[in-house]
């Protein structure tokens, strides 16, 4: 039986950098999930369509999946392809959307944000190209949530998502699929598995920390089963609803067990970690590279390589959705963000395991250590010292006031000398998509210096508590001198200049960041 439920708009259903993210308790509140999902179906249309559904296994993932299935059926969807146990990593979901030529997919994840009843939850819609919905579509969804008066849902028993195979929910087909198999096969088609197998057979040792999140099953299948890495290579391999209390952000702060092992006496040759939904990691292309794209705050090191190779390089706003058009148009092959996310045109999401396999493939081909490869790069191109400082849970009013004051000062900055460095340009980053001409404004303030140093100030679009200031710092050392400094030491003048310029302490009372990556 289809029920039409009367509802009212709920404030704050505005998707951010990567879908709608809120505290889990907010998502579990009356009509919250239902309103947003109905807004998605109202905007993209559900009748007769096929969607992919799955998530990173965090708390409420299973319940939310059942609600979405009942709503898809009530809205007339023909078929939903669901990962077994309602699990799918974000890149695997992107791949299933493309492989099955579906009309899009719904991904349940808050990525690197902690999970659990006290943690965060998120819902994201991906387009038929497998990539996150562009701003025009998420804006339409937001407008819909502001006028919604009813949603449709089927009254039915839960679908048994533990059983692979076809079932029916009302008129709708539900295909429960192995969440790992198709993705593992895709990876096997992209990389030289035989060479990587030989590397492991020759004694190469690796540690992969899946941080009790979704990449565990994928990493075990690919690294241990298909590539022959030693059993136990993957740790924290079972996805848990609260990620075992871990914070699934693959940076040195949160992946500290991995860092300790890698710095310890019996360190393996290569260490890697991945985030909650598997699209990030902490990385020969047979077809060559059409171009590279990076988000604006990301280190500019890749631009130097692209320039020397004579290929295109693009600077987009933060968020993977901005890479979609470049990938679809064949203008970029590799994309990356400073937040430990890289990927290619094989799917339309960043992809942590892909990036790890890319590195393994490079190591297998070059038979050099990661450290040697980095040093080679610095010798050839100079070193871009780079770091991000996060100031979390700031009172929103203080953060907004600080950003407003900084914005007002931008026009007066060029020509000024800060910490001995001359400012050449300062702006609030706006991006015109080179493929469809759409314009996105207010994407972060950047201050550029004559010597290649930069600082960028942005407020996070994925946080769920107050405001998070992200301060991105970069300093270029052309070499051959000064290539082996500690990054925070090398960046010290840029850090001091940023604090003085934005008056971070004056506005927020903070002098030191909560997280340094």
Query: Contacts with ligand G1P: how many residues (CB under 6 A)?
Result: 14
87 membership: H or E segment, kind and range: strand 79-87
Residue 470 interacts with ligand G1P (CB under 6 A)?
Answer: yes
Q: Which of 111, 210, 274, 344 is catalytic?
A: 111
Question: In terms of CB distance, is 39 or 456 closer to ligand G1P?
Answer: 456
Measured from the CB atom, the residue of 228 and 252 that comes closer to ligand G1P is: 252
Q: Is 251 a binder of ligand G1P (CB under 6 A)?
A: no
Q: Is 111 a catalytic residue?
A: yes
Asked whether position 320 contacts ligand G1P by CB under 6 A, the answer is yes
How far is residue 250's CA from residue 340's CA, in Å, rounded to a whole number?
7
Among residues 34, 120, 275, 351, which is the contact residue for Zn ion, using CB under 5 A? 275
Over the window 328 to 347, marking each residue x when it contacts ligand G1P by CB under 6 A and - when it does not, the resulting string is: ---------x-x--------
Of 334 and 421, CB closest to Zn ion? 334
Q: Binding partner of residue 333 among Zn ion, ligand G1P, none, CB under 5 to 8 Å per kind?
A: none
Q: How near is the Cβ of 274 to Zn ion at its closest, in Å? A: 8
Q: Which does 271 bind (CB under 5 to 8 A by kind): ligand G1P, Zn ion, none?
A: none
* Token pair 């140093």 in the structure block, residue: 453
Residue 277: which of Zn ion, ligand G1P, none does it interact with, CB under 5 to 8 A by kind?
Zn ion
Query: What is the gyration radius of the CA atoms in the chain, in angstroms?
Result: 23
Give all strands of the β-sheet with 120-126 in edge-to-edge order: 20-23, 120-126, 105-108, 50-55, 79-87, 172-177, 165-169
In this chain, which stretch among 39-47, 277-285, 301-309, 432-440 interacts with Zn ion, using CB under 5 A? 277-285
* Window 90 to 149, contacts with Zn ion (CB under 5 A): 111
Contact 461, 321 (CB under 8 A): no
Does the footprint of ligand G1P cover residue 38 (CB under 6 A)?
no
User: Of 1-9, 280-288, 461-469, 500-508, which segment contacts Zn ion by CB under 5 A?
Assistant: 280-288
152 or 321: CB nearest ligand G1P = 321
Q: Is 430 left (phi over 0), alpha (psi -120 to 50) or beta?
A: beta
Minimum distance between the CB of residue 275 and ligand G1P, rounded to whole angstroms? 8
Q: How many residues bind Zn ion (CB under 5 A)?
A: 5
| Exposure on the CB side of residue 242, measured as CA atoms within 13 A | 6
Query: Under a CB-based contact definition with an 8 Å cutoff, are residues 318 and 462 in contact?
Result: no
Q: Where are the alpha helices (DSSP H) in 133-269?
A: 135-145, 181-190, 193-201, 215-219, 256-263
Which tokens go with 451?
């010597």
Please check whether residue 448 is in contact with residue 421, taking contact to mean a CB–CB distance below 8 angstroms. Answer: no
3-state secondary structure of 337: strand
Position among 34, 120, 279, 337 found at the interface with Zn ion (CB under 5 A): 279
Residue 133 DSSP symbol: P
Smallest separation (angstroms) from ligand G1P to the CB of 341: 6
Given a contact cutoff of 8 angstroms between Cβ atoms, the answer to whether 180 and 85 are in contact is: no
Considering only residues 256-275, where is the footprint of ligand G1P by CB under 6 A? none
Kindly identify the residues of this chain, within the stretch 50-89, that bind ligand G1P according to CB under 6 A.
none
Cα–Cα distance for residue pair 250/88, rounded to 1 Å:
18
Q: Which of positions 100-129 make contact with ligand G1P (CB under 6 A)?
A: 111
Which of 115, 179, 239, 319 is close enough to bind ligand G1P by CB under 6 A?
Answer: 319
9, 252, 312, 461: residue in contact with ligand G1P (rule CB under 6 A): 461
**Shortest reach from residue 21's CB to ligand G1P, in Å:** 9
H, E, C per residue of 427-480: EECCEECCCCCCEECCCCEEEEECCCCEEEEEECCCCCCCEEEEEEEEEEECCC
Q: Which of 50, 281, 462, 517 forms a contact with ligand G1P (CB under 6 A)?
A: 462
Distance CA 129, CA 114 (A): 28
Q: Rounded to an integer, what distance in angstroms lies between the CA atom of residue 297 and that of residue 315?
A: 9
Residues 91, 347 contacting (CB under 8 angstroms): yes
For binding to ligand G1P (CB under 6 A), which residues are involved? 17-18, 111, 295, 318-320, 337, 339, 460-463, 470
Q: Which residues are catalytic?
A: 111
For binding to Zn ion (CB under 5 A), which residues are involved? 111, 275, 277, 279-280
């Amino acid at each position: 039986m289809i029920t039409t439920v009367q509802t009212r708009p709920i404030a704050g259903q505005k998707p951010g950098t990567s879908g709608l993210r809120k505290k889990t308790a907010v998502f579990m509140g009356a009509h919250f999930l239902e309103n947003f999902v109905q807004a998605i179906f109202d905007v993209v249309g559900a009748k007769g369509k096929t969607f992919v559904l799955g998530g990173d296994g965090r708390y409420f993932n299973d319940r939310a999946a059942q609600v979405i299935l009942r709503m898809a059926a009530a809205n007339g969807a023909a078929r939903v392809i669901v990962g077994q146990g309602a699990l799918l990593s974000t890149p695997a979901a992107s791949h299933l959307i493309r492989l099955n030529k579906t009309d899009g997919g719904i991904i349940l994840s808050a990525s690197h944000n902690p999970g659990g009843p006290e943690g965060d939850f998120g819902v994201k819609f991906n387009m038929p190209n497998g990539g996150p919905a562009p701003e025009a579509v998420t804006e339409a969804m937001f407008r819909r949530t502001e006028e919604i008066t009813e949603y449709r849902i089927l009254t039915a028993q839960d679908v048994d998502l533990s059983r692979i195979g076809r079932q029916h929910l009302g008129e709708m087909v539900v295909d429960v699929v192995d969440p790992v198999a198709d993705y593992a096969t895709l990876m096997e088609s992209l990389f030289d598995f035989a060479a990587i197998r030989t590397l492991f057979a020759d004694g190469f040792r690796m540690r992969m920390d899946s941080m009790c999140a979704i990449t565990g099953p994928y990493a075990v299948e690919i690294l241990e089963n298909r590539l022959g890495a030693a059993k136990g290579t993957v740790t924290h391999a079972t996805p848990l609803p609260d990620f075992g209390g871990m914070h699934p952000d693959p940076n040195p702060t949160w992946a500290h067990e991995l860092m300790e092992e890698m710095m310890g006496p019996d360190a393996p040759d290569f260490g890697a970690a991945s985030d909650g939904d598997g699209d990030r990691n902490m990385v020969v292309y047979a077809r060559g590279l059409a171009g590279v794209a990076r988000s604006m705050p990301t280190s500019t090191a890749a631009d130097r390589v692209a320039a020397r190779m004579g290929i295109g390089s693009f600077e987009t706003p933060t968020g993977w959705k901005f890479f979609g058009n470049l990938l679809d148009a064949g203008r970029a092959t590799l994309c990356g963000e400073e937040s430990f996310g890289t990927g290619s045109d094989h799917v339309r999401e960043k992809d942590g395991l892909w990036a790890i396999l890319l590195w393994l493939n490079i190591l297998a081909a070059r038979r050099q250590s990661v450290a040697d490869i980095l040093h080679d790069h610095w010798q050839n191109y100079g070193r871009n010292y780079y770091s991000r400082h996060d100031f979390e849970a700031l009172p929103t009013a203080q953060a907004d006031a600080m950003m407003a004051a900084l914005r007002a000062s931008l026009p007066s900055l060029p020509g000024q000398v800060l910490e001995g460095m001359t400012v050449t340009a300062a702006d609030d980053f706006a991006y015109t998509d080179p493929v469809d001409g759409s314009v996105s404004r207010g994407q972060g303030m950047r201050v550029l210096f004559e010597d290649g140093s930069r600082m960028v100030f942005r407020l996070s679009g994925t946080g769920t508590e107050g405001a998070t200031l992200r301060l991105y710092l970069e300093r270029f050392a052309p070499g051959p001198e000064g290539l082996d400094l500690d990054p925070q030491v090398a960046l010290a003048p840029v850090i001091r200049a940023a604090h003085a310029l934005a008056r971070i302490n004056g506005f927020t009372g903070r002098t030191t960041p909560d997280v340094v990556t």
